[in-house]
Amino acid sequence: MATVSYRKNIISQLLNEDGVMISDHEGKAGLLWSAYKNRMGISLNPDMRFDLEQLIQVNMDFYSLIQPFSTEEIDRIVKDMPSDKAPGPDGFNGLFLKKCWPLIKQTFYDLCFDFFSGNLDLESINNSFITLIPKINNPETVNDFRPISLLNCSIKLITKILAERLQAIIFEFIHAKQYGLIKGRTI
């Protein structure tokens, strides 16, 4: 079964822009690297060319966004995490968190509290794997793949807490006809 899965998941060859099939590892890696680098771009130290405070004049109470994390809030986020998502670089997914939560919850509480207080080095946990998902059954070109990032479960937990908090107040900032990227709305 592992051999079948390996054969299914390996990219054996890719067609380049000139119509030539590339099958060596370095050639495929170079083709993928240049295609996604050109598509996604690289930004080192981007310049902020506008003043958000001048653009957005909102008189809202952001108190809910800056409250310390509670253990109940963290427990709820873990409970709501999908169990069947792919594991990240740490090898853990939502199912692991849910099953082992009684044993590991204090460590995750400490992690979240350290993040909130600014005592967490995010570089140590903020890494991901980029993997390619085929869009079609027999992919041949770079455009036949969709890249996704696999994040560590610890950074996923923190971002989900922040996203849930933002989701609770975001409707006060956006236009009623805004549909893209809003939970529960489709284009």
Domain boundaries, the chain: 1-40, 51-187
For residue 132, what are the β-bridge partners?
147
Contact 161, 69 (CB under 8 A): yes
Taking only the tens place, the pLDDT of each residue in 93-145 is 889 999 999 999 999 999 999 999 999 888 888 878 888 888 988 888 999 99
Please state whether the predicted TM-score (pTM) of the whole model is above 0.75: no
Distance between CA atoms of 151 and 128, rounded to whole angstroms? Answer: 5
The position carrying tokens 């998902």 is 133
For residue 21, what are the β-bridge partners?
15
The position carrying tokens 């919850």 is 105
Contact 168, 176 (CB under 8 A): no
